[in-house]
Amino acid sequence: MATDSYRYLEAAGPDYREGGPLLFAFHGTGGDETQFSDLARQVFPEAIAIAPRGDVSENGMLRFFRRTGEGVYDMQDLADRTGRMADFIRAHAERLRPAATVGMGYSNGANILTSVMLTAPELFSHAILMHPLIPWTITPDDSLAGADVLVTAGGRDPICPPEMTGQLIEGLESRGAAVQSHWHAGGHEIDAGEIAAVGQYLEALRTRLLPVESLRVEREKISAQKGRYVVHGAGATEAEMSYSRSGANTLIIDHTEVPQAFRGKGIGGLMLDRLTADAREEGMAIIPICPYAAAQFKRHPEWRDLLAPGFDAS
């Protein structure tokens, strides 16, 4: 069976629920299926992680495909093993039916992941490529439209030269992928800033995957005169609508901020619904100077009686 074509480690994160996201983790040369097990649980606790072990030995070091020299790949072997890996990934995705399928690979693991994406682009919605090296030209098309990719690299990497990493980024973009990049000043090693960038990338994805019905609007008092309504996402991600008091009976909505990870979920509307309901219950008038709030008041005539006397939302 394709699910057993590699030796692999499967581990559910502490917050995983059936149907949750699936993360495939691919180790670098000399690593094994345990290389990213702790990191996967740390940065993506809602996912179930599958980490295959490379089955090619190069001087005793495990890899996912053969090469004849540094940066010189056995292209037929790469093609054969890319197809085999794609079948392995597809079989596990069909078994688990995940909300999203994410790939994360380092060095040789990033290379097999990239090759699979280019060959079977439907398998991954998101990918993290750490220090990849793809020494061939990517032909432009639209096969990766809708894919979201993070590429991390070292500015002095002797194994994956920065100019080749740049060519890979351009190649992925030429196929329609949205690509972010993170660079550090070192070489082929993974540094702390790189791990933080991976965590931030996945934090945004985790927030996008949250169902709207699970989100709650909280009211926080900042001081006697200031407060905010807030919706928390994954990690430190949050949306907020802040207000200040003017006199005893008036609230000024002065700021609304919804991060990109929350876009399309109607989070601003959820916060404004809660604020207007509280204002009506407490007998407060509202001055919406925030452009978002002012625009919403123009669209909702049922809120006009809450406007402070003499204030024109237009």
Q: Which residues are catalytic?
A: 107, 157, 188
**Do residues 47 and 25 touch, judged by C-beta distance below 8 A?**
no
Between CA 95 and CA 72 the distance in angstroms is 35
Task: Name the percent of the chain in helix, strand, coil, to the closest 5.
Answer: 35, 25, 35
Between CA 265 and CA 247 the distance in angstroms is 34
Which one-letter amino acid corresponds to residue 185?
A
For residue 43, give the nearest of 271, 205, 203, 232 by alpha carbon: 203
For residue 219, give the nearest of 237, 242, 235, 188 by alpha carbon: 242
Cα radius of gyration rounded to whole Å, the chain = 24
Between CA 309 and CA 268 the distance in angstroms is 24
Residue 182 makes CB contacts below 8 A (sequence gap 6+) with 150, 151, 152, 153, 193, 194, 197
